[in-house]
Amino acid sequence: MAITLTTVPDYALPGVVSLATSASAGGNYVEYWCTNAPPGSSLRAALDADEANRVHIHKGGVDSPHDADMEIGGAYTFACQELTKNASTHGGGYTGDPTGFESETKAAAENTQTVYVGQKLNCRLGSGVFGTAELLMWAWNNTVRPTTIKSHGEITPAIIKPSTVIAETAALDTTVATKLAALEDALAPLLIGNLNSLCDDMRTQIPLHFNNNGGVYHNGAPPEPDIDNDTEIERMTGTPTTPAGFATFASIVWRRLHNHMANWSGSADTPYHNAGGVFTPDYANALASSQPGDSDMMVTTGVLGDIHRAYMAHIDDVTVHSAQDVTNTLSVALGLILDLHQAFFDAQRKLSPTNPTTRNPGATVLIHGCGCREVAPNYAR
């Protein structure tokens, strides 16, 4: 038996938050204290100033919501006590008679409740090659929840602030929109996915493709398995444990995959892709991201998504291979945000992308096909 403490509405934004209670032990009163709050909040400051580390918030009827200052997003912890409060049957014989006071008894043991106030998050999509945009999300507890203008003042998840028209095209792409919608009500671990399993899959399968799988795929004239770009990938751990480790992994795989697709050994042109005796580097599926150079996981996860996109498109391409490589595929599912990253990169790199419904088709063709720039209206003449 315990008190349940909830916000009104369910997914509250930082600020003055209304807290509602329900009691399960038959009591008619509740009392609760804040015992932990996010750094920077007024409740955290009050807790730090209180020797008991316990700040009284409210005492009142079960059905009486109470406002509390919760201006910083995060988790707030409360100690809650359910009470039964009744008028005395005696009523008292004189003014102030103690026997006329209301009785107050604990209806159940004190219990702890955690209340979550939304935290606003952003993530960069794209890269400096074609432009970037900002992914916005709100998280409560362990889940990303959709927000609306009516309830929260803005629509999220959303892609905003494209730095180029090409990035804007990607933000409006229908596949990107589908991947964006998949973030709604998704648990945070599903958004990230199992990065260790993904890296281990890449470390295993990508060199196997480079090595030609027995001459089935890279069997031009002459056959030329790629034994130049595989070793550096193979000798890495497939299970990085730090942001720097993931960045190093992504950087090495990015460079070696780029070299392989471009028929470059690292020091000379090499005919890994030599279909029909014609030197055939794979530029059609080229990486759209930039090689990562630091340990920013925002950059690294985007690059891993782009590596996945470029590699899977490359091994399916029979214009540079004698057959599709259906053996050395990446089988580990991408996290939802990595899936969004690769869709965004894919939309950016197309010369003839799907035209957004809100743009003139001719403008999209010219912007992507020959690099035209959109000029703001009412520009100075």
What is the reported pLDDT for 238?
87
pTM for this structure? 0.89
Instruction: Give the residue with greater pLDDT, 43 vs 365.
Output: 43
Task: Answer for the pair 182, 238: CB distance below 8 angstroms, yes or no.
Answer: no
What is the reported pLDDT for 11?
95
Task: Report CA 115 to chain centroid distance, whole Å.
Answer: 22
> What is the tens place of the pLDDT at every residue in 252-272?
999 999 999 999 998 999 889
In the structure encoding, which two tokens stand for residue 14, read together? 């930082």
Q: How far is CA 176 from CA 126, 191, 269, 342, 344, in A?
A: 12, 15, 36, 9, 6
Banded pLDDT at 140 (limits 50, 70, 90): very high
> What is the tens place of the pLDDT at every residue in 197-222?
999 999 999 999 998 877 788 876 66
| Alpha-carbon gap, residue 69 to 49, rounded angstroms | 16
Banded pLDDT at 152 (limits 50, 70, 90): very high
Residues of the chain above pLDDT 90, percent: 67
What is the reported pLDDT for 88?
52
| Alpha-carbon gap, residue 308 to 281, rounded angstroms | 18
Q: Span 274-278, mean pLDDT?
A: 80
> What is the tens place of the pLDDT at every residue in 177-198?
999 999 999 999 999 999 999 9
**At CA 306, angle to CA 208 and CA 177, rounded to 5?**
135
The answer for residues whose C-beta is within 8 angstroms of residue 211's C-beta and 6 or more apart is 225, 226, 227, 230
In the structure encoding, which two tokens stand for residue 75, read together? 């988790």
> How many secondary structure helices (H) and strands (E) does the chain include?
11, 13
> What is the tens place of the pLDDT at every residue in 300-331?
999 999 999 999 999 999 999 988 999 999 99
What is the reported pLDDT for 17?
96
